[in-house]
Structure 1
Amino acid sequence: MTEQSLLVIGGTGQISAACVREAVRSGWSVSVLNRGSTSSRSLPEEVESIVADVRDEEALVTALAGRRFDSVADFLTFTPDDLRSVLRAVVPHADRYVFIGSASTYQKPPAALPISESTPLFNPWSQYARDKIACERLLRDEHLAGRVRATVVRPSHTYDRTHVPLLGGWTVIDRMRRGAPVVLHGDGTSMWAMTHSDDFARAFVPLLGAPEASGEAFNIMSSELLTWNEIARCLSDAAGGSLHVVHRTTHDLVAAAPEWDADLRGDRSHPALFDSSKVREVAVGWEPRVPFAEGARQIVAWHDADPSRRVVDPEVDALYDRLVAG
């Protein structure tokens, strides 16, 4: 069987680095295109590095001259203008284009659960989500016109060991260790899906060469259902801290921290119960392997391994104090 080639645009992010590693394990010849930035996420030595700025169409054309790939997976395109540029520069060099969308694009609040690939795309609170929706519409039109063979993948909250999945990042873990209260939106009981990047990658890679994935969109999310209270508890337990939660309404949180508006009203305040059965028809036998309790231990261990990673933001810390005092 001829080795298949994959170009990954990005390749060093929370999701993309895991997908690169899994693709190599699965026998793909992988090239990674980015600006050559350093990352804490190491890639297999057999991965080829192509240095170019994805926002520079001319540089992309030059970097890919004479190249051909079976699939391209794009983790770095977020707006329709950028997508048009990437399609012009990359599609002539690829048989398949895989766009990384987002579950934040789904209707907020959802009219029905679980959220499937047929749930309407509508999110008035998040510019990021609106841009991703516009990208999907553009890509659909290009696919229907026969100018690209496209697949869309919609991850939800996907994390790796570098990412603390609470607003405020490591500052929140530090507060837990100090016994200081932390704040969660609502009453903390809304459901949320946390997916480890390694689990995401094992479902993602089979889509790359699957003919039946062309023209389709796929959810990839863990089936483990967690409340925000449980997410905080897992992190506190992993850190050896004390968990004291103060609940505040989303309205009050957004009033105090407008920068959290898109994250809260556009995503986290709504239940996240997803149907991922469609991807299992292609990634046969796929099931997530990393429960969040284990993921939380990985997060804390990675931060504890290097003091420079345990960054406490005094402004965020003071914000939490104000929210607690409320």
Structure 2
Amino acid sequence: MSALRVLFLGGAGMIGSAVAREAVQRGIDLTVVTRGEHRRALPSDVRAIRADVRDAASLDAALGAEEYDAVVNWVGFTPQDVESDIARFAGRTRQYVFVSTCSVFGRPVPQLPITESSPRRHPVFGYARQKLAAELVLEEAYRERGLPLTIVRPMHTYDETTMVFPVTWTAIERMRRGEASVVHGDGTSLWTLTHSSDVARALVPLLGNAHAVGESVNLVSGDILTWDQIHTTLAQAAGVREPLLVHRSSESIGREIPGWGEALQEDFRHSILFDTAKLRRLVPGFHPTVTFSEGARRIVAWHEEDASRRVFDDDLSDAFDRLIRNG
């Protein structure tokens, strides 16, 4: 039996590179198209093509007449980013996979847990609003033009090379010094984190899976934590047994740290809990393998390996101090 032929449009970032490794391990014949140097190392068995995914002429020239069993778009963020794919791939692949985000679900969620049929709505948060608009364009193409669409939605994904926003290395160092870190809200809202390797183990079995065509699937771990637990788990991995945490409203944090305001106020302040029944039905036997306790240890260990990775932001630390002083 010939190997499944899969094309990644983009996919050299944190999640895409993890999925690429999992795909190659499962015997998939993988081609990755990127515009420049890969941000993350890809397996040597991957065929790499240089082209601008958003330049129709460049991409058409790079792909030629080749066909693929599945195409995964990692770099579609707006309707304009995906519109040319509809004509290009509607009759050229058995599955077109759009990587969206669980942030498309309306906040606050009217009923928990979130399922794939929960209301999607985001009039304010720009990233989620654009992803949702792209989803709607592709869903119309599935209904009207025969695009064999699968939408996958990762939730907050991390690996050892990333901190879990809004926790930063600055916060870790402050807690090591015995200084407080600022947590939005009262620290009890629920959140879901998923390690990139678990997203890969969930996504790869969906490739070439006819049962997934016409479906949207939330790629989440089900690992439910409060924001106090997230901060405390990272602190304990860094050797701080009882970190000092000070709670401030998302609005006040946004005033002091403007770059954080939209994400905290429109997304992170709300409790998020997912039903994973569809994922487990489409990928029998799936269960996450990396708990956040283990993930936090990996994050701290990676940062400890090289001093250049441990960036302390004095401006952010000063903003924390002002928030703590001013209540």
Shorter-chain TM-score tier:
over 0.9
Q: Secondary structure at the match of 1:184?
A: strand
CA RMSD of aligned residues (A): 1.5
Deviation at 1:278?
Answer: 0.1
| Paired letter, 2:130 | D
1:91 Cα deviation (Å)?
A: 4.7
Q: Deviations over 1:177-206 (max 9, x none)?
A: 222211011110111101111111111111
Q: What CA distance in whole angstroms lies between the structure 2 residues aligned with 1:130 and 1:178?
A: 39
Corresponding position of 1:308: 308
Q: What is aligned with 2:248?
A: 248
Aligned to 2:231: 232
**In structure 2, do the counterparts of structure 1 residues 179 and 83 end up closer, same or farther at CA, with 3 Å as the change threshold?**
same
Name 1:42's counterpart in structure 2.
Answer: 41
Does the CA contact (< 8 Å) of 1:183 and 1:320 recur in 2? yes
Percent identity for Structure 1 against Structure 2: 43
Instruction: Please state how far the C-alpha of 1:258 moved relative to its aligned partner.
Output: 2.7
Separation in 2 of the partners of 1:257 and 1:313? Answer: 12
Once residues 325 and 10 of structure 1 are traced to their aligned partners in structure 2, the CA distance between those partners, rounded to angstroms, is 45
Once residues 21 and 288 of structure 1 are traced to their aligned partners in structure 2, the CA distance between those partners, rounded to angstroms, is 17
- 2:9 is matched with which residue? 9
Q: CA deviation at 1:315?
A: 2.2
CA contact (8 A) 2:11 2:75 kept: no
Letter of the 1:128 partner, please give it: Y
User: Which residue is 1:20 aligned to?
Assistant: 20
**Runs of 5+ in structure 2 lacking a partner?**
none
Give matches, 1:1-326, under 5 Å. 1-39=1-39, 41-91=40-90, 93-167=92-166, 169-241=168-240, 243-326=243-326
The structural deviation recorded for 1:93 is 4.1
- Give the match's secondary structure for 1:7: strand
Residues 168 and 316, structure 1, Cα contact 8 Å, conserved in 2? no
Whether the 8 Å contact between 2:90 and 2:145 is mirrored in structure 1 is no
Letter in 1 for 2:157: T
Uncovered stretches (5+) of structure 1, i.e. residues with no partner: none
Question: What does the per-residue CA deviation read over 1:29-72, in whole Å, with 9 as the maximum and x for residues that have no partner?
Answer: 11111123242x32211011111122222111111112211111
Cα offset, 1:216, TM superposition: 0.5
SS at match of 1:117: coil
SS at match of 1:174: helix
Q: Is the 8 A contact 1:31 1:48 kept in 2?
A: yes
Tell me, in whole angstroms, the C-alpha distance in 2 between the residues paired with 1:168 and 1:274: 22
- Please state how far the C-alpha of 1:92 moved relative to its aligned partner: 5.3
1:131-182 Cα offsets, whole Å, 9 max, x none, are 0110111000000013410000111111111111132632222222222211
Contact 1:150-1:216 at 8 Å conserved across structures: yes
- Deviation, structure 1 residue 95: 2.5
Please state whether the residue corresponding to 1:204 is helix, strand or coil.
helix
How far apart in 1 are the matches of 2:34 and 2:178? 41
